[in-house]
Structure 1
């Protein structure tokens, strides 16, 4: 079943109550054209397949490897475009925040505040996000086990917010690779929260000497299918019409044209395992 607070956010959409939900969009707001194209196309695919959909784009990328990496088009501009896409296509939206003062700034524009994996233990950030009353999606740190995420959940609940999502995004394996431990999905679900599988960032190859993170996007389908089989409540997929020219994380995003055939398979798999 779709979690109640996700069902509330997606109440304008028609979907199968037994389906997984999808968080998807480009890594970062590059332009209005990109935001609108991705939101419209993914929304259409999800309507066709009965998948509740949440549009995702970062208004700012704060955790870049190189000082020369693209970080965004400005906070106000980025947030305004995310909100515009949500209103135009009647979609809930999400973006990541990086410091406690960003929570109140971003909350009027988006429905879900995403906490980056590297910041999942930042108490002031978690509390500030919780106090907005918005849904809070915390990505599991690459350095943490699934069971240890109970402390992030406790911090948010003690701040008076029970609308929590946890996202698995892989675990550090050496200096330049990640692996996915699918035990983390049921382990994190023990906290009574929905668990999402990040199918793109879990395939990153960080710490490249070029200053640009690598990736293995050809394995996105593998990660997604295994997550659905393991009982994930939702999937997170970053997608772009042409990842080769994307301004952030192009090495691990799914080409937009490949999204529909992948989701078709995942919907069939979901029906087989529930």
Structure 2
């Protein structure tokens, strides 16, 4: 766990934000290697700490007929290759406790999906890997209720934790982001991440009852989150051809928009650093 703590300190910086980004689903080895390298190059140019994200299994798809991913064996192989050959950090999800130890071989950050953030056995298995764990706040929880999740995690002796905001249920399938939630979660003392792409998701709102989204609003939400002074990191799903993506294409940011958007976020962060209006 000490080694992971050192990595956390290198990854999370007080004076600048970090980025967790990549495609929603692991579509192919070629797609992973291309996007990981392209996004990494942009972040290196802008001096942003970066972690490549992709899901090897989309176990929570709205429809059972939709694409899920290549499975854990192939997923781990591809993630290891990206990590070794490109030198990128890797983040990916787990959905069941038995997956934690296997995924820890290929990931620097293990992510707990929002709908599963209260699953005690899942949190325990993830925490015991010693990895950095990014727990997404469920759409049905208040920021304060994440305190109970944190206690479960800390009981396992791991302090390498991030809390992620991805919007709250509003009415039926639309989400709304209460930006004060970032500030309220930040007061728990752990880094806070804002998920700018899942926050524009409309569950079950697409063709054949699949998900849809409003990716045109991603830049607005990302800028608003950065302006709070509470966001240590930004999570975004990014694709070079979102309209043809196998999962959540309508929510993902196009790769060609990423650099310009990150520059805007850097400018906002520099204003925070100048005036010191972070969370107190």
Same fold (TM over 0.5): yes
Find the counterpart in structure 1 of residue 278 from structure 2.
none
SS in 2 for 1:100: coil
CA distance, structure 2, for counterparts of residue 38 and residue 198 of structure 1: 18
86-95 or 232-241, which moves further after superposition?
86-95
SS in 1 for 2:145: helix
Counterpart contact for 1:9–1:92, Cα < 8 Å: no
Find the counterpart in structure 2 of residue 221 from structure 1.
219
1:30 to 17, 27, 47: 27
Moved over 4 A (4+): none
Counterpart contact for 1:19–1:50, Cα < 8 Å: no
2:8 to 6, 30, 38: 6
Is 1:127 equivalent to 2:129 in the alignment? Answer: no
CA distance, structure 2, for counterparts of residue 168 and residue 26 of structure 1: 18
Counterpart contact for 2:11–2:49, Cα < 8 Å: no
Residue 251 of structure 1 deviates from its aligned partner by 1.1
1:104-156 deviations in whole A, cap 9, x for unaligned?
A: 12111111110000000000100110011111110000000111101111111
SS in 2 for 1:64: coil
Residue 89 of structure 1 deviates from its aligned partner by 1.8
Residue 4 of structure 1 deviates from its aligned partner by 5.8
Q: Which runs of 5+ in 2 are unaligned?
A: 274-280
Distance change (3 Å), C-alpha of 1:5 and 1:153: farther
Counterpart contact for 1:112–1:135, Cα < 8 Å: yes
Aligned length: 267
2:153 to 141, 151, 156: 156
Q: Which runs of 5+ in 1 are unaligned?
A: 11-15
Find the counterpart in structure 2 of residue 197 from structure 1.
194
CA distance, structure 1, for counterparts of residue 209 and residue 85 of structure 2: 36
Q: How does 1:189-268 map to 2 (within 5 A)?
A: 189-208=186-205, 210-231=208-229, 232-268=231-267
SS in 1 for 2:209: coil
